[in-house]
Amino acid sequence: MPTKKPDTVESTPPIRGALTLEGLQEENDFYRGKGGISEENRAYGFKPAFYDMETGTSYASQFANGHEAPMHVMDGLPDDVVLTRHIDGKVAAVRPGIISGFVQRGHFYTREQAALATAQLRDRTQMLSNPHQHNKLLAAWEKFLVDEEYPGDFIRPVVGDSWRRCYQSQIDPELQYAPIISDSDQLEQRRVLQADLLKAANPIMQRASQILFRTDSLILLADAEGLILDVKADERVLSQATDINLVEGGVWDEKTAGTNAIGTALAAAEPVQLYGAEHFCAGIKHWTCSADVIRDPHDGRVLGAVDLSGLTETYQSNALDFAIMAARLIESNLAKDYFRSRQEVIEATRTMFMGWKTEGLLAFDRRGRLVRANQHAHQTLKLLGADLVLSPQCRLPALDLELPLAMANAPVWLEKQLLLPIERQHERVGTLVVLSAQH
């Protein structure tokens, strides 16, 4: 049996407060090797910069003489954000709310967002299936069901790990098809909750359907729970897919349908290609599928997956490239909407932040993502005992305007604060939280 991958100890990013030279070095040490430092993401068009949470302004990293710096340098920041300087004039610390990150195409990315955007793919030899091993894989699967053992020389880690999860979850290996949500109202409710994902994916899915017309493949979009939200294919292929519920409403998370590209990609949070016998359940072993996860550009959480599937005789190694490309295009559309929402809040709250001089202010977009925070907010949140890190990656689900009854799960400190709608051109684009510790 192959050796299990060792457990790793996750380190945590430095705690944000007043940014100092030492803090910058700690951030560099943490993000080194992850794509969150200049030398690792410069080739992708990322330039070191700083973001002011109070004004929503981005500042390019510059030396004291105003020349562009190739790494994070605080000496070129404006005086009104500087807290202290060394005796030689170099900036030692800037006020809370100044975040280090990068600018690409006019948009600010935190270090973590830049790291996610530049993440490198794994070794492709471990990502692709080998159809020539179908019979050996089938024999290994049969042996695994008997004693949880199999030859470890050709079972890819992503497959072996998934089989073990399925075995431990007591998935029926003779399962012939995935379950399906047949209640149209329930399915529509789930689709409404994923309106942003569906909107971002729609042009990609439409274009893919034109490319795949009269082929034996389907392209599918699933949410983070493996529920298929949308399918594009010609009627003949859809008819075959219906036999295993590989259609809209089908539930393909790994704990429900066993090893499959959608569910296993979601479980492993990485691109996955599976061929025939690599699937855990018998009814799916005549299919081949390739999928990649779709991540939220705001905080990197997995929102869903895009999958390309067909019968085993339709196998093509470049199907995984197709799925990966589709996922990146969907993420690009999500990013455009994300940055548009951020800019709408910045513009709609300019007078608010100028007019409220003595209160702590937090400005969130319509999905509960923090865009702006003034200086009073830092101290007031401490007095309230609120566990909230004020950065562009902060999210308060209770302020998500798209989630029904979101405020029912609001943190206690938020329930006592004044919440005002942020509107732009007569449309609500977010929520302003006016903080007060006097309650």
DSSP for 64-127 reads TTSPBPSS--STTS-GGGEEEE-TTS-EEEE-TTEEEEEEETTEEEEHHHHHHHTPPPPPGGGT
pLDDT value at position 5? 38
SS3 assignment for 229-242: EEEECCHHHHHHHH
Dihedral-angle region of residue 156 (phi above 0 means left; psi in -120 to 50 means alpha; beta otherwise): beta
User: β-pairing, 302-311 with 107-110?
Assistant: unpaired
- Dump pLDDT digits (tens) for 85-98: 999 889 999 999 99
- Dump pLDDT digits (tens) for 212-243: 776 788 999 999 999 999 999 888 888 889 99
Residue 124 has pLDDT above 60, yes or no: no
Measure the CA–CA gap between 67 and 75, rounded to whole angstroms: 11
Among the listed residues 344, 403, 387, 352, the one whose alpha carbon sits nearest the alpha carbon of residue 373: 352
DSSP letter for 180, please: B
Q: CA dist 44 to 30, 320, 347, 406, Å?
A: 20, 22, 28, 37
Range of the domain at 227: 124-338
* Within-domain flag for 317: yes
| Mean predicted confidence (pLDDT) in 185-198 | 93
Choose between 314 and 39: higher pLDDT.
Answer: 39
pLDDT value at position 34? 83
Residues 243 and 323 in one domain: yes
Residues 168 and 281 in one domain: yes
pLDDT value at position 308? 95
Task: Identify the band that residue 151 occupies on the pLDDT scale cut at 50, 70 and 90.
Answer: low
Residues 145 and 288 in one domain: yes
Residues 216 and 145 in one domain: yes
Task: Identify the band that residue 12 occupies on the pLDDT scale cut at 50, 70 and 90.
Answer: low
CATH of the domain at 397: 3.30.450.20
Task: Identify the band that residue 139 occupies on the pLDDT scale cut at 50, 70 and 90.
Answer: confident
Which amino acid type is present at position 56? G
| Mean predicted confidence (pLDDT) in 198-218 | 88
| Mean predicted confidence (pLDDT) in 360-381 | 95
Q: How many CB atoms lie within 10 A of CB 50?
A: 25
Among the listed residues 221, 229, 228, 241, the one whose alpha carbon sits nearest the alpha carbon of residue 306: 221
Residues 202 and 227 in one domain: yes
pLDDT value at position 8? 33
Residues 93 and 183 in one domain: no
pLDDT value at position 228? 97
Which amino acid type is present at position 280? F
Q: What crossing angle do the helices spanning 157-168 and 261-268 adopt, rounded to 10°?
A: 100
Which amino acid type is present at position 216? D
* Domain boundary, last residue among 303, 338, 373: 338
Percent of the chain with pLDDT over 90: 64
| Mean predicted confidence (pLDDT) in 38-53 | 90
* Within-domain flag for 5: no
Task: Identify the band that residue 147 occupies on the pLDDT scale cut at 50, 70 and 90.
Answer: confident
Residues 259 and 183 in one domain: yes
What is the tally of structural domains in the chain? Answer: 3
pLDDT value at position 143? 84
- Pick the range with the lowest mean pLDDT from 148-152, 203-207, 386-390: 148-152
Residues 313 and 422 in one domain: no
Measure the CA–CA gap between 141 and 155, rounded to whole angstroms: 10
- Dump pLDDT digits (tens) for 265-290: 999 999 999 998 999 999 999 999 99
SS3 call for 272: strand
* Within-domain flag for 16: no
pLDDT value at position 122? 45
Residues 212 and 333 in one domain: yes
Residues 41 and 109 in one domain: yes
Task: Identify the band that residue 255 occupies on the pLDDT scale cut at 50, 70 and 90.
Answer: very high
* Domain boundary, last residue among 117, 140, 158: 117
Question: Taking a C-beta distance cutoff of 8 angstroms, is the pair 304, 221 a contact?
Answer: yes
Among the listed residues 328, 319, 332, the one whose alpha carbon sits nearest the alpha carbon of residue 127: 319
Burial (CB count within 10 angstroms: exposed 0-12, middle 13-18, buried 19+), residue 11: exposed
* Domain boundary, last residue among 117, 138, 162: 117
Measure the CA–CA gap between 439 and 432, rounded to whole angstroms: 18
Among the listed residues 53, 48, 65, the one whose alpha carbon sits nearest the alpha carbon of residue 18: 53
Percent of the chain with pLDDT over 70: 92
Task: Identify the band that residue 148 occupies on the pLDDT scale cut at 50, 70 and 90.
Answer: confident
pLDDT value at position 16? 62
Which phi and psi angles does 417 have, rounded to 5°?
-95, 155
Question: Taking a C-beta distance cutoff of 8 angstroms, is the pair 329, 208 a contact?
Answer: no
Residue 157 has pLDDT above 60, yes or no: yes
Choose between 410 and 127: higher pLDDT.
Answer: 410
- Pull the structure tokens for residue 172: 């029926």
* Within-domain flag for 11: no
Residues 312 and 375 in one domain: no
| Mean predicted confidence (pLDDT) in 109-124 | 75
SS3 call for 305: strand
pLDDT value at position 9? 31
DSSP for 338-391 reads HHHHHHHHHHHTHHHHHH--SSEEEEEETEEEEEEE-HHHHHHHHHHT-----S
Among the listed residues 219, 296, 301, 297, the one whose alpha carbon sits nearest the alpha carbon of residue 262: 219
Which single residue is written with the structure tokens 């018998």?
282
pLDDT value at position 153? 67
Q: How many CB atoms lie within 10 A of CB 67?
A: 9
Residues 310 and 355 in one domain: no
- Pull the structure tokens for residue 431: 């929520």
